[in-house]
Amino acid sequence: MKKGASQPIYLDYNATTPTDPKVQKIMEPYFCEKFGNASSSSHSYGWEASAAVSQARKHVASSISARPEDIYFTSGATESNNMALKGVCYKVLCPSTGSKQKPHVITTSVEHKCVHEVLSYLENWGVEVTYLPVDEHGICSVESIKNAIKSNTKLISIIFANNEIGTINPIHEIGALSKKHNILFHTDAAQACGKIDIDVDSMGIDLLSISAHKIYGPKGVGALYVRGKNPEVNLTPLQHGGSQEAGLRPGTLNVPGIVGLGAALEIAMTQKQEDRAHIKKLRETLLNAILPLSPSIKLNGHPTSRLCNNISLTFSDIQPGQFACDLSGIAFSSNSACSSDSTAPSYVLKAIGLSDQLARSTIRLGLGRFTTEDEINTVIQKLKGLLKKADISASY
């Protein structure tokens, strides 16, 4: 991928990824030449679009070892999370079910903001929600989930890999627990899909959210996996007005975007090992150069059970304002993208035990497929300069 000489070094891959040029090339014909509506079943333009959507559905399903018919296309993980959480709870709340119990949902204090906001909304409808704490690494223990289960627990929703600190939750164990108690299990896998091996059956996952722009695909498209058997999961649709996506998500399909999502995941699965090796090498180069410089620098998240591309660093002796000045020329995150306009300290960092001051003195560096060794070396030098200026590093 070509980069302009004046562009900053991009290290915010957990917020969004550039669209892979190979993905863009595959998408292009579906904007102009192959512009048909996938629902048009009476002519070749529609057939061509429908075939492309079917192929993309297969690629998405293959990436999580699912059945293609269990994949529903959406505008992204936020919509997928809404569909999953509201769809399950509305089904129980519907008077026709005859249920006299309000549904209970178990989640954690470090879920993506959209999950928290959806659950907060559902609480206004009488849904009971338990927000479980996490340990210093950001992991929610299976035991705490087990202890939170009630007779009316209908759903467990736990993030697969945290967007801020990169920690990966014990998904296999949580899935097994949910199956033992006949509770549906949803996971937001926006950060994990395409990076981590996922098998919805062996992991006991019933609902899984995906976003294309986290895996070198286009923005504005994603998918929701909804288990179709063993057990069959039935969601109440949030929208009405068409038969697309089996009526669960009606509306004209975004064919170019869907093609891009499918292509992005096909590429991700093909070169997953190559990407992992490349990114891990760069991550270790940076950490090995920076962490030994001062005991005031701390890596947040689990030391090993973490996304290979996420580096969350707290500099306890650095004032937040220094980052923007001394790390100019680097595009990084000093907060999660979903709340980057807020001056409030990250609730995720506070949940793992950081004070407001330490949370504000934390940066997230997100590496990716197109990050180069030269870029990482430049970042290392800038970080060393930051520490030297603050006079907290003893060696360079």
The pLDDT score that the predictor gives to residue 98 is 58
Q: What is the 3-state secondary structure (H, E, C) of 55-81?
A: HHHHHHHHHCCCCHHHEEEECCHHHHH
pLDDT of residue 1: 63
Other residues' Cβ atoms within 10 Å of the Cβ of residue 31: 11
Determine the longest span between alpha carbons in the chain, in angstroms: 73
Please report, in angstroms and rounded to a whole number, the separation of the first and last CA atoms in the chain.
Answer: 32
CATH 3.90.1150.10 segments of the chain: 9-19+272-390
Per-residue pLDDT of the chain (396 residues; tens, 9 = 90+): 666 667 999 999 999 999 999 999 999 999 999 999 999 999 999 999 999 999 999 999 999 999 999 999 999 999 999 999 999 999 988 766 656 689 999 999 999 999 999 999 999 999 999 999 999 999 999 999 999 999 999 999 999 999 999 999 999 999 999 999 999 999 999 999 999 999 999 999 999 999 999 999 999 999 999 999 999 999 999 999 999 999 999 999 999 999 999 999 999 999 999 999 999 999 999 999 999 999 999 999 999 999 999 999 999 999 888 898 889 999 999 864 444 455 789 999 999 999 999 999 999 999 999 999 999 999 999 999 999 887 754 444
Domain 9-19+272-390 matching CATH 3.40.1010.10: the answer reads: no
pTM (2 d.p.): 0.94
User: Could you write out the DSSP letters of every residue in 171-220?
Assistant: HHHHHHHHHHTT-EEEEE-TTTBTTB---TTTTT-SEEEEEGGGTTS-TT
Residue 161 dihedral angles phi and psi, to the nearest 5°: -140, 130
Looking at 3.40.640.10, 3.20.20.70, 3.40.50.2000, 3.30.565.10, the CATH number of the domain 21-270 comes to 3.40.640.10
Q: Which of 140, 308, 325, 338 is catalytic?
A: 338
Residues of the chain with CATH 3.40.640.10: 21-270
Residue 338 annotated in active site: yes
